[in-house]
Amino acid sequence: MSSKRYVIYVSPSEWGIVEPIKTISDYIKSSLKRRGMNLNEVSDHQITRIFPHLERFLQGHPKTLTISDILDTFSKQFGFANEEEKNNVQTAVARLVDRLSMLKRRDPVRVYKLIRSLRTLLIGFVRGYLSLPIQVYEKQSEKAGGEV
Amino acid sequence: MDHESLTMTITKALSKDLKDFYREGIEVENFYYLVLSCNPKFYPISGLQHLVGSGILALRLCEFARNTFDKDLSDYDLAIAFLSGLFHDFNKWHIGSEVMRSNILPLFRETQVFLSLEDVLGEEKLVYALKDAIDLAMHLESGGLRRGLQKVARYVRVADYITGGEEYWNVSEVINLLIKELSIDARYLLPLIIGRQRPLISIVSEMLERRLEDEGAVPLVSTSTGMLFLISKEIDVERIKREIAELIQTPSEEKGEKESKIIRYASFRDFLSGRRKLATYSKTFISIAGYSPEDIKRTYEEVKKIPADLPVFITVLAYIYSKDPNKVEKGEVRVRKFIEVLRSVDSSLEVRGRKVGDMLKELHNTLLSKDVQTLNALANKAVEFIISEINKFKGVDVDLIMRKISNYINIGLQKNVIEEVESDEYCASCREPILVSRALGSYLQELRNLIRGLNISELFHPDVQGKPEKVGAISDVSRKLSVCEICYYELIEMHKRLNFADGMWASVLVYYPAMSIDLMKIISTLIPQIRERRETLPVISDYMTSRIIIKEASGDLKRNDLEDALRLWYLFGGNLVLTTTAFGSAFVWRGLPIEIEVTDIIIEEIVNEYMHILTEAEKEYGRGLRRGRHVLFTKNIRYWLYRTLQNYIAKLEESRIRKRNRIEIRLLRSGLQATGLPTIDVYSFVLNQLKKG
């Protein structure tokens, strides 16, 4: 019954950012695998292609254009296996950009630092430095199962 | 009772369980993971303190009731009291009663606590007890309980309130509750309340608890303002107070922690023959405050082997005695006094000089003409006299201390609480009246022996702050100012006994609002056992303010110390404060789960996030969102904090630069981006460090 438990927990407020990054990293990993590329041959620059777009977004580039630019870059660099994957990535990018615009309103300086941290995090996820499952209590169900 | 009490059985089993949990690496998913990783209230509190604490408290109350006023309670009732205390908040794990029965109880069956209960009750009865306990837990607040359970429910409810209600940090509230809810007669209660907070209370509280328990009192609960015992017979409080006073009075010399030193008297010959001046010896030989009786005895043993050295030795003793540790009497007067004592052995001794130097030379010359037998007798007398003076200087009167102590600790609400001790002098350190005065100078001199590198001449005292023309180095005022016996005991004596004093790093586990004393006892005995890497680890359980003080490091705080402290916090609950002023008087409760005296932006952010989640959870709960995401996160929030901080600390680099005489965490945080989202900060930091390594 007993088992070792190593899970990275994130707080609910962070989950909005970590989840899209995780989705994007999964997508990049699977696309590289699909094309039979070795992770050692891929540069950090290649992995983090979305970040120039995100930085431009913080400098005032419109939100919708940023999302479409990022998806263009993805389809050029990594390609999409099917429509479902594309939709997933699109949703993730939109959520990330949404969250960033919110954080930008709250603290415009810190959000630049956040972008840099996220870049490191994405590289970590893709290269497998951080391979532990990530968990948060996100789903909100109205069922009063636990209440007595 | 002829057999061991149920509380003892359960606390033993619990202590074994916690040890196993630690041995298996803390992160094993078993019953204790559920208990330890949740934060069952909307302020920082651990499951161990609230859930296990209520269980033990309910059990203690029931057991006491059975022995005194409610003899109908059976072993079965007691077991239900413990179990329902343990499970009363199982909805905080966000599971229903069905999941509880099918998933959690099998986990509980693997624990030692379950097995030990099985030994007492038998398997069949225990299954019923568990069922009843869960029934009771579900209807604890709402009514509709079976009549058989109603009696026990009162005790469990009280235990739940005490360990969880925020107002019960105050021991008088606890007393009110016990009288109101359980109708316990006031004569069964023995509160110990803090009068004035000072380090002495922390130091003696462990001894107080032990003595009271030996007398037959039942330890119940420890709060930030004192502790509460249950008693069934009269207890002699005066005797216990006297014991504390005696503890303060007896110097710790017989323990022999400190190596005795030999006085190097031979160099004094240069002065006696006129080659050097007396002033050159002012630091070689200090006043009697700087020597222990052992030093004198050991030197005398050496001198006895060379009779020709006896005159120099006696002269040196006279010189040492001429320095008044309280800096009141003049040197000449004291030398005369010394010679007067020697004259009781040999009346022909006489000195005519007026200055200390002349007198010493004259004494030496006179001694040279004596035969060995007389010299031996004189040396014996001199040594005896000096030792008695040292003891007189270090000893304190017991009865006076007793009066003073009753201002600090009030046992059993005795009358004449604020009985001010009158004195002309006031302590330069704590501002209390002085019973036995010691000059600040000699006090600091002893302190210098304990704290390496303490430069006394650089210390300043607030009493000279207002006189800018005399910007006062402490050496200027140390003659006029004095220190009281309790300050002396707290810093000098306790340092010798505990090997710990303020100024060293300590991790303090603060239990707010109230904590079962039995549980604190388990924790303080477990800590030295699970930390094998240190031979001596002072753990002071301060029951009077519900906290446990653990010495971390005497110099800089290192990464290992931080990691250890964090592990203790996760395992044993409470709020962790890493501080160098653990005995400080303003130190009762801090409202954050983890606090470190040195600022670190990541740790601050992460603790902020913890508090933010609790606030949000409270709001969600208020809105009726009983399974809101913040509320649900509280189920594992302590584990989140522990794991994230542990990862962060593990990747910190230790600084190689060693700074002298400074207390700080020697860690480097290179390449850090603080974004206000703690987990992202931590893991991006960890990844950066990985790339560097």
Report the half-sphere exposure of B408 (CA within 13 A, side-chain side): 23
Residue B251's pLDDT band (cuts 50, 70, 90):
low
The single residue listed with the structure tokens 């740790």 is B603
- Sort out which chain A residues have CB atoms less than 8 A from B693's CB and list them: none
pLDDT tens-digit map of B609-651 = 999 999 999 999 999 888 888 998 998 899 999 999 998 888 8
- Sort out which chain A residues have CB atoms less than 8 A from B27's CB and list them: 4-6
Residue B319 lies in a domain: yes
B661-667 long-range Cβ contacts below 8 angstroms, 24+ apart: B661/B453, B663/B503, B663/B505, B663/B555, B663/B556, B663/B557, B663/B580, B664/B556, B664/B557, B664/B598, B665/B556, B665/B557, B665/B558, B665/B562, B665/B596, B665/B598, B665/B600, B666/B556, B666/B557, B666/B558, B667/B559, B667/B562
Is B626 in the A-facing interface, judged by CB distances under 8 Å?
A: yes
Interface of A with B in 7-36 (CB under 8 A): 7-14, 17-18
Q: What is the pTM of this model?
A: 0.79
Interface pTM, i.e. ipTM: 0.83
- Indicate if B658 and B604 belong to the same structural domain: yes
Residue B673's pLDDT band (cuts 50, 70, 90):
low
Using the predicted structure, report yes or no on whether residue B533 has a pLDDT greater than 60. no
pLDDT tens-digit map of A68-89 = 999 999 999 999 999 999 999 9
Cβ-Cβ pairs closer than 8 A, A with B, add up to 133
Angle, CA B342 vertex, CA B336 and CA B345 arms, to 5°? 150
Contact B379, B372 (CB under 8 A): no
**Looking at residue B471, what is its pLDDT?**
52
Q: How many CB atoms lie within 10 A of CB B629?
A: 20
Asked whether the beta carbons of residue B28 and residue A5 sit closer than 8 angstroms, the reply is yes
Q: Is B276 exposed, middle or buried (0-12, 13-18, 19+ CB in 10 A)?
A: middle
- Sort out which chain B residues have CB atoms less than 8 A from A137's CB and list them: 629, 632-633, 635-636
- Sort out which chain A residues have CB atoms less than 8 A from B617's CB and list them: none
How many domains is chain B built from? 4
DSSP string over B430-446: T-PBPSS-EEHHHHHHH
Residue B438 lies in a domain: yes
Radius of gyration of chain B (CA): 31
- Indicate if B511 and B589 belong to the same structural domain: yes
* Of B351, B377, B394, the domain-final residue: B394
Residue B174 lies in a domain: no
Is A51 in the B-facing interface, judged by CB distances under 8 Å?
A: no
* Of B442, B474, B498, the domain-final residue: B498
B318-333 burial, b for 16+ CB within 10 Å, e for fewer?
bbbbbbbbbeeeebbe
Contact A132, B643 (CB under 8 A): no
Mean pLDDT value across residues B586-602: 75
DSSP string over B302-337: HHHT-GGGHHHHHHHHHHHHHS-TTS-S-HHHHHHH
**Which of the residue ranges A16-20, A55-59, B19-23, B503-507 would you say has the lowest mean pLDDT?**
B503-507
- Indicate if B385 and B342 belong to the same structural domain: yes
DSSP string over B218-267: EEEEEETTEEEEE-SS---HHHHHHHHHHHHHS-GGGG--SPP-----GG
Residue B117 lies in a domain: yes
**Looking at residue B502, what is its pLDDT?**
77
**Looking at residue A141, what is its pLDDT?**
44
Higher per-residue pLDDT: A24 or B397: A24
DSSP string over B582-644: TT-TT-S--SSSEEESS--HHHHHHHHHHHHHHHHHHHHHHTT-TT-HHHHHTTTHHHHHHHH
Mean pLDDT value across residues B562-582: 89
Look at residues B490, B482, B497, B478 and name the one whose alpha carbon lies nearest to residue B393.
B482
Tell me: cis bond preceding B593? Omega within 30 of 0 counts. Answer: no
Asked whether the beta carbons of residue A117 and residue B675 sit closer than 8 angstroms, the reply is yes
- Indicate if B447 and B578 belong to the same structural domain: no
- Sort out which chain A residues have CB atoms less than 8 A from B690's CB and list them: 124, 129
- Indicate if B427 and B375 belong to the same structural domain: no
The alpha carbon of residue A127 is apart from the nearest alpha carbon of chain B, in Å, by 11
**Looking at residue B388, what is its pLDDT?**
84
Mean pLDDT value across residues B443-459: 72
Mean pLDDT value across residues B486-514: 83
Mean pLDDT score across all residues of chain B: 83
Give the rounded percent of residues in chain A with a pLDDT score beyond 90.
64
Give the span between the Cα atoms of B268 and B285, in whole angstroms. 10
Higher per-residue pLDDT: B237 or A96: A96
**Cα distance between the two ends of chain B:** 63
CB-nearest to B96 from A124, A130, A146 is: A146
Residue B349, token pair as written in the block: 């001794």
* Of B478, B498, B518, the domain-final residue: B498
**Looking at residue B119, what is its pLDDT?**
92
Residue B481's pLDDT band (cuts 50, 70, 90):
confident
Give the rounded percent of residues in chain B with a pLDDT score beyond 70.
86
Look at residues B669, B511, B685, B512 and name the one whose alpha carbon lies nearest to residue B598.
B669
Residue B461 lies in a domain: yes
Using the predicted structure, report yes or no on whether residue A134 has a pLDDT greater than 80. yes
Give the span between the Cα atoms of B128 and B99, in whole angstroms. 18
**Partners of B665 in beta bridges:** B557
pLDDT tens-digit map of B196-238 = 778 888 888 888 899 899 988 999 999 988 899 999 888 888 8
**Looking at residue A148, what is its pLDDT?**
30
Interacting residues of B37 by C-beta distance below 8 A, sequence separation 6+: B47, B635, B636, B637, B638, B639
Q: How many CB atoms lie within 10 A of CB B593?
A: 24
Using the predicted structure, report yes or no on whether residue B441 has a pLDDT greater than 60. yes
- Indicate if B555 and B685 belong to the same structural domain: yes
**Looking at residue B689, what is its pLDDT?**
81
- Indicate if B553 and B481 belong to the same structural domain: no
Residue A1's pLDDT band (cuts 50, 70, 90):
very low
Q: Which domain holds residue B137?
A: 6-164
- Indicate if B40 and B116 belong to the same structural domain: yes
Higher per-residue pLDDT: B583 or B114: B114
- Indicate if B438 and B535 belong to the same structural domain: no
**Looking at residue B656, what is its pLDDT?**
62
**Looking at residue B353, what is its pLDDT?**
81
Q: How many CB atoms lie within 10 A of CB B411?
A: 21
Higher per-residue pLDDT: B461 or B266: B266
> Which of A18, A44, A116, A120 best tests the B interface by mutation, with the highest count of B CBs <10 A?
A120
- Sort out which chain A residues have CB atoms less than 8 A from B636's CB and list them: 9, 137
Is A76 in the B-facing interface, judged by CB distances under 8 Å?
A: no
Mean pLDDT value across residues B415-439: 72
Using the predicted structure, report yes or no on whether residue B663 has a pLDDT greater than 80. no
Residue B98 lies in a domain: yes
- Indicate if B557 and B668 belong to the same structural domain: yes
- Indicate if B367 and B346 belong to the same structural domain: yes
Is A140 in the B-facing interface, judged by CB distances under 8 Å?
A: yes
- Indicate if B572 and B427 belong to the same structural domain: no
pLDDT tens-digit map of B325-379 = 766 778 888 888 888 888 888 888 888 888 888 888 888 888 888 888 888 888 9
Residue B323, token pair as written in the block: 């320095």
